[in-house]
């Protein structure tokens, strides 16, 4: 199963979202550089390293933006430790305005 599919499955199970998009944005980062374990790494834009999550769930009602991000990051800790370099999170409760 791909990282994207694994993340989608975990998010659906944990949050029962009304709306969910897990977007692989790795191609947008081709040529970007960063330091990893003492080595200089350049992304080639392939693979599953950069994602954007857009999610609307009742679970987020009453939570601050920081609490929502911490919750999603904790849920996806294995993916973040296993090769996902960047994760943009756009989380909302039902009825809250979104820009997407």
Tens-digit pLDDT profile for residues 32-62: 555 555 655 545 545 678 899 999 999 999 9
Please tell me the least confidently modeled range out of 3-12, 14-23, 24-33.
Answer: 24-33
Q: How far is CA 85 from each of CA 1, 44, 73, 79, 88, rounded to the nearest angstrom?
A: 18, 13, 12, 9, 10
The total of structural domains in the chain comes to 1
Residue 23, domain member (yes or no): yes
Residue 28, domain member (yes or no): yes
pLDDT, position 48: 78
Q: Which domain holds residue 22?
A: 3-92
Report whether 34 contacts 85 (CB < 8 A). Answer: yes
CA distance 73 to 7: 11
Residue 100, domain member (yes or no): no
Query: With a threshold of 0.85, does the pTM exceed it?
Result: no
CA distance 67 to 3: 23
Q: What is the CATH number of the domain that holds 33?
A: 3.30.300.90
Q: How far is CA 68 from each of CA 14, 22, 29, 54, 71, rounded to the nearest angstrom?
A: 12, 16, 25, 12, 5
Residue 99, domain member (yes or no): no
User: Tokens 């969910």 — which residue?
Assistant: 20
Quick check: helix, strand or coil at residue 49? coil
Residue 98, domain member (yes or no): no
């Amino acid at each position: 199963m791909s990282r994207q599919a694994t993340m989608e499955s975990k998010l659906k199970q944990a949050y029962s979202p009304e709306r969910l998009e897990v977007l692989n944005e790795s191609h947008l980062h081709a040529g970007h550089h960063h330091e990893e374990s003492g080595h200089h790494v350049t992304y080639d834009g392939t693979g599953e390293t950069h994602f954007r999550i857009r999610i609307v769930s009742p679970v987020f009602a009453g939570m601050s933006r920081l609490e929502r991000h911490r919750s999603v990051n904790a849920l996806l800790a294995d993916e973040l430790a296993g090769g996902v370099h960047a994760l943009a999170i756009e989380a909302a409760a039902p009825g809250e305005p979104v820009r997407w």
